[in-house]
Amino acid sequence: MASKVIHAIYNDDDILMNAVKAVRNEHYHIEEVYTPFPVHGLDKAMGLAGTRIAITSFMYGLVGLSVAIIMMNFIMIQDWPQNIGGKPSFSYIENMPAFVPIMFEMTVFFAAHLMVITFYMRSKLWPFKKAENPDPRTTDDHFLMAIDAGSHDVEKISKFLKETGAIEISLIENEDDH
């Protein structure tokens, strides 16, 4: 079964923002919006849910802190205790002030690297992945809004999009893989 998607191209980000709000008011489903640069407030105008990326970053930082504590306790206290600068190596608690920089750096290291991996996995950006950009002009100076036509009247939606300021409208029929 084929799905119909309408591509509306705009040449100004302010016009695009107003068009997104108008399309949402008419209760049409916006599949995606492609822009050459980040448009402030577009996610809210599209009605996208907030991100939970800060929670994952905090959890990754806790993993890094835990690894640092376990690593330093094993290396500096249990496996190879050394008397460095007159500091006794009898317990981790006695030496913890000296370990604070290592704990901080490992927390940041784990959070940063695991966040990059999470971003690539969540965005489905794999090595050698083919670009999914429907129109190359959206990487330069145009904005594209993809609207699911579904069971709606395509002519009516197209006329409505022209009224919102679209400079070009095209109907794309995709074959489903199911």
- Are residue 59 and residue 119 in the same domain, yes or no? yes
**Any domain includes 118:** yes
Establish if 128 belongs to a structural domain.
Answer: no
Is 108 within a domain? yes
Per-residue pLDDT of the chain (178 residues; tens, 9 = 90+): 468 899 999 999 999 999 999 999 999 999 999 999 999 999 999 999 888 889 999 999 999 999 999 999 998 888 887 777 776 677 888 888 888 999 999 999 999 999 999 999 988 888 888 888 888 898 899 999 999 988 878 899 999 999 999 999 999 887 655 4
Same structural domain, 107 and 165: no
| Closest residue by Cα to residue 141 from 34, 6, 31 | 34
68 and 113 fall within a common domain: yes
For the domain that residue 22 is a member of, what is the CATH number? 3.30.70
Considering its fold, how many domains does the chain have in total? Answer: 2
User: Which residues does 69 contact at the CB level (< 8 Å), separation at least 6?
Assistant: 92, 99, 103
H or E, element range at 34: strand 30-34
Q: Say if CB 4 and CB 154 are below 8 A apart.
A: yes
Decide if 43 is inside a domain: no
pTM (2 d.p.): 0.70
Domain interval for residue 90: 53-123
Residue 135 placed within a domain: no
| Cα–Cα distance measured from residue 3 to residue 147, given in angstroms and rounded to the nearest whole number | 11
